[in-house]
Amino acid sequence: MKPACLRPLPAIGMAIAVALSASCSKTESGAPKANAPVATVDPTTAGSIQVQVSYNGPVPTPKVINMNGTPACAALHPEPVLDPRLVVHDGRLTNAVVYIKSGLGDRTFAAPTSPVVIDQKGCLYDPHVAAVMIGQPLQFRNSDQEAHNVHGRPKNVDSWNFLMSRPGSTRDVTFDKPEVGIPVGCDVHPWMQAYASAFDSPYFAITPSNGTVELKQVPPGEYVLAVWHETLGSLVKPVTVAPRGTAKVDFAYQAPQG
141 is an interface residue for Cu ion by CB under 5 A: no
Minimum Å gap between C-beta 14 and Cu ion is 11
3 state SS of 24:
helix
Beta-sheet strand order (sheet of 124-126): 124-126, 116-121, 138-142, 170-173
Nearer to Cu ion, 148 or 229 (CB): 148
Residue 27: CB atoms within 10 Å = 24
189 is an interface residue for Cu ion by CB under 5 A: yes
Q: Where do the DSSP E strands lie in 124-256?
A: 124-126, 129-133, 138-142, 148-152, 160-164, 170-173, 179-185, 193-199, 204-206, 212-218, 221-229, 233-241, 246-254
Options 5-13, 41-49, 130-138, 141-149: segment touching Cu ion (CB under 5 A): 141-149
Nearer to Cu ion, 146 or 200 (CB): 146
Return the residue of 188, 205, 232, 241 that touches Cu ion, per CB under 5 A.
Answer: 188
Minimum Å gap between C-beta 158 and Cu ion is 21
Nearer to Cu ion, 50 or 143 (CB): 143
Minimum Å gap between C-beta 53 and Cu ion is 29
Return the residue of 130, 186, 225, 241 that touches Cu ion, per CB under 5 A.
Answer: 186
Positions 191 through 210 that interact with Cu ion (CB under 5 A): 192
* Burial classification of residue 35, based on how many CB atoms lie within 10 Å of its CB (0-12 exposed, 13-18 middle, 19 or more buried): exposed
**Closest Cα partner for 48 from 210, 199, 219, 211?**
219
Residue 145: CB atoms within 10 Å = 11
Nearer to Cu ion, 101 or 141 (CB): 141
Q: What is the DSSP letter of 17?
A: -
Return the residue of 141, 148, 171, 229 that touches Cu ion, per CB under 5 A.
Answer: 148
Binding site for Cu ion (CB under 5 A): 148, 186, 188-189, 192
